[in-house]
Amino acid sequence: MGGAGVETVTILITDLVGSTQLESRVGPIVAEELREEHFGLLREAVGEAGGREVKNTGDGLMVAFPSAAAAVSCAVLIQQRFERRNRSAMETLLIKAGVSSGDASTAGGDVFGMPVIEAARLCDSCSPGQILAKEIVGHLATGRGHVFTSVGALELKGLPEPLEAIEVVWEPAFGSGIALPERLRELPATAFVGRVAERERLAELWGQTRDGSLRLALISGEAGVGKTRLSMHLALQAHVEGATVLYGRCDEDLGVPYQPWVQAFGHLVKEAPDRVLDVHVERFGGDAARLIPALRDRVPELPSARGNDPETDRYLLYAAVVSLLEEASKREPLLLVLDDLHWADAPTVSLLRHAVTAGPSMAVMVVGTYRDSDLSRDHPLTALLADLHRDRGGERMKLAGLQTGDVLSLIEALAGHELDEDGCALAEEITRETAGNPFFAGELLRHLMEAGAIVQEEGGRWHVVGEVAELGLPQSVREVIGRRVERLGSDARRALSAAAVVGRDFDLGVLLAVVDLPQAQLLDLLDEAVAASLLQERPERAGRFTFVHALVAHTLYEDLGATRRAMLHRQVAEALEELCSEAPGERLVAEFSEVIGSAGGSAAILAYHWREAGHLD
């Protein structure tokens, strides 16, 4: 949402039928539990459909959407969720929903204008379980699989003229009935921005999956760059469309064979209709129970697994897994997300290889995420990636940081209004400091708010009163960066810490004079840091390096003790004087001013390092 001003939005308003009589019917304690359940179901649907909750209306929610199709999908999803819930509930909960689109004003996170009034009046006019919408909503959402019927012109309270309205036709979600995995219900509070090309490509692959073709997409990038968030965005959209969504992830150093498969298929077996499991067990007996212990809970008379040697056991297990995927995807397409594959063991990757090559006609899409900086040459995923590249199989996406405009949109979404000139400058600074890493940007922004560098004025508007450079780093960022550096070893940390004293950009010659390491060993350490996405080589000149994130340099610098930091500053100053002794003025500026970060000439460069060296003269 933007700031104060007029923009086109679609508003959804819901209402719980009979809420005022609820407490007298069931008592205050049960009534409160039912209200909490009611809002939980609403917010789950809103999160999946990509809406922004504007406010709680007491008996429902007011939600804003950037598109009419998303609002209609959310309204249908809400009714389906409550219909499914009511099948086995003692107390029935019924929902009414009104939808309208048009120009509205926004201020302080709230929305005002005719779409809000119209949606509220349409909601009031609904029968229990009904969705009414303004006619224009149907035109805007045409072609998205929704069905509408005209209800004519309605006389609505408070509106000067009758409103042409339609009813959104929905059916119970009998389908697979498989709930969204819990991990994917944890929709982050921040808005999803950027990644337009990536989202479009994933949507294209998902369309091919819906047509019956198995597809694989592997998303790579550094920690915090948004790999899981991108896959989550696709998963939520697919689930809104009625797909089965499964999720599993690898954990660092846990060492559980097939861990993400166990998680994903455990959820499938728990939620799958009996017919899916009956067909599977008839064909494969208990072969899959080695991987999915929950299968025995759903099928008490499950036969024992076949096979009596490791190779046979693995062959039967893999065949059973592929068969279960195929059976589960026959009625609705299936999306499987395998997260953090850089921590995957060999069996996990082996099963992935088998699954994506064994059933090309299945309506299944597998999305895997991994940190390419964490893959060694002997990692099992490295071999799979090489094979996929050679065979031109699968889709590989490498995510970079967000652009300044995307970071600005992220901040404006959190603020609930457009930013002024100071806010735009803040977005540029945060982008520069974080290289557009969404996690780092979000954590740094929260840190600025907690430290008082951003204050919320009366009316809810944000005002920037401090500088990013004046504040320390949030602990969360320091911990993430610290773990990445520690993986390279103590020598690498020592060299990178010295480089951070030189500056975000540094020269190999200066670093060699400061760090007591042979040139070949130092180059190897820098190469490892480049592979880990901590450094980049400057392409315009050999021997020049830069920290990918200013935050990495800041973290290493701040983690140094005061005495060691001062000593390193003195060593840098002495190295610069030595390296530039032949022409200390002109050459120092020409050769090193860029990598030291000073535009004030040789005197300013040396003065900075001698000043930071303190009393160690």
Average pLDDT for the chain? 83
Q: Specify the pLDDT at position 4.
A: 57
| Partners of 505 in beta bridges | 546
Q: Which residue has the tokens 């982050």?
A: 188
Instruction: Report whether pLDDT(2) > 60.
Output: no
Residue 477 has pLDDT above 90, yes or no: no
Site of tokens 């046979």 = 312
pLDDT confidence band for 263 (50 / 70 / 90): very high
Cα angle 292, 293, 299; round to 5: 100
Report the candidate in 416, 409, 408 with the shortest Cα–Cα distance to residue 107. Answer: 416
Please choose, from the candidates 355, 347, 350, 363, the residue with its C-alpha nearest in 3D space to the C-alpha of residue 321: 355
Reported as a single tens digit per residue, the pLDDT across 298-318 is 888 888 878 677 888 888 999
Task: Report the Cα 332 to chain-centroid distance in Å.
Answer: 25
Which pLDDT score is estimated for 268?
A: 92
pLDDT of 149-164, one tens digit each? 999 999 998 898 999 9
What is the β-pairing status of strands 334-339 and 364-370? parallel
* Per-residue confidence band for 590, with pLDDT thresholds at 50, 70 and 90: very low
Short-list 10, 14, 23, 19, CA closest to 43: 14
Within 8 A by CB and 6+ apart from 130, the residues are: 96, 97, 167
Cα of first residue to Cα of last residue in the chain, in angstroms, is 56
| Residue 343 CA to its chain's centroid (Å) | 18
- Specify which residues 61 forms β-bridges with: 56
**301-312 as b/e: b if 16+ CB within 10 A:** ebeebeeeeeee
The secondary element (H helix, E strand) that includes residue 484 is helix 475-486
Which of 332, 373, 122, 310 minimizes the C-alpha distance to 209? 332
3-state helix vs strand vs coil in the chain, percent to 5:
50, 15, 30
Q: What pTM value is reported for the model?
A: 0.62
- C-alpha 591/C-alpha 600 separation (Å) is 13
For position 336, what pLDDT does the model report? 97
- Identify the pLDDT of residue 580: 66
Q: Is the pLDDT assigned to residue 615 strictly greater than 60?
A: no
Distance CA 479, CA 552 (A): 11
Q: Is 212 left (phi over 0), alpha (psi -120 to 50) or beta?
A: left
Work out the average pLDDT over 24-40. Answer: 84
Integer Cα distance of 231 and 365 in angstroms: 11
b/e 73-88 (16+ beta carbons within 10 angstroms → b) = bbbbbbbbbbbbeeee
pLDDT higher than threshold 60 for residue 582: no
For residues 545-567, give the mean pLDDT.
84
Structural tokens at position 62: 């007011």
Query: Which tokens go with 90?
Result: 């003692």
pLDDT at 240 over 80: no
Q: Give CA–CA dist 57/111, Å, rounded.
A: 13
Distance separating alpha carbons of residues 455 and 464, to the nearest angstrom: 7
The predicted structure's pLDDT at residue 390:
72
* 35-61 tens-digit pLDDT: 888 999 999 889 888 899 999 998 999
| Pairwise CA distance, residues 536 & 520, whole Å | 18
* pLDDT-above-70 percentage for the chain: 88
Average of pLDDT values for 566-592?
A: 66
Residue 15 has pLDDT above 90, yes or no: yes
What 3-state class would DSSP assign to 427?
helix
**pLDDT at residue 179 is higher than 70:** yes
pLDDT at 423: 80
Report the range of poorest mean pLDDT among 96-110, 246-260, 363-377: 246-260
The candidate with the shortest Cα–Cα distance to 447, out of 430, 424, 463, 460, is: 430
Could you give the C-alpha distances from 451 to 165, 442, 461, 467, 576, in angstroms and in order?
Answer: 50, 14, 17, 11, 37
Higher pLDDT among residues 217 and 297, named by residue: 217
Residue type present at position 544: R
Which residues fall within 8 angstroms of residue 528, CB to CB, at 6 or more apart? 488, 492
Q: Above 50 in pLDDT, residue 593?
A: no
Task: Please compute the mean of the pLDDT values over residues 228-247 and round it to a whole number.
Answer: 86
Decide if pLDDT at 531 tops 70: yes
**Residue 587 has what pLDDT?**
44
- The burial of 7, by beta-carbon neighbours within 10 Å (0-12 exposed, 13-18 middle, 19 or more buried), is given as middle
| Digit-coded pLDDT (tens) for 115-170 | 999 999 999 999 999 999 999 999 898 766 788 999 999 999 889 899 999 999 98
Contacting residues for 479 by C-beta, under 8 A, at least 6 apart: none
Half-sphere exposure (CA, 13 Å, Cβ side) for 199? 15
Q: What is the pLDDT of residues 85-99, one digit of tens each?
A: 886 567 889 999 999
Q: Tens digit of pLDDT for each residue in 267-302?
A: 999 888 888 888 888 888 888 888 888 888 888 888
pLDDT band at 7 (very low <50, low <70, confident <90, very high): confident
Flag whether pLDDT at 196 surpasses 60: yes
Q: Angle 26-28-31 (CA atoms, 0-180°, nearest 5)? A: 60
Kindly state the average pLDDT of the residues 470-481. Answer: 72
Q: How confident is the model at residue 470 (pLDDT cuts 50, 70, 90)?
A: low
Mean pLDDT value across residues 473-482: 76
Cβ(96)–Cβ(63) below 8 Å: no
Kindly state the average pLDDT of the residues 244-268: 88
Q: Which two tokens stand for residue 575?
A: 């190295």
Q: Is the pLDDT of residue 188 over 60?
A: no
Q: Give me the pLDDT at residue 507, please.
A: 85
* Stated length of the chain: 617
From 241, 268, 209, 245, select the one nearest 339 (Cα to Cα).
245
CA dist., res. 284 & res. 303, Å (int): 9
Gap between the Cα atoms of 464 and 475, Å rounded: 22
Split at pLDDT 50, 70, 90, the class of 458 is low
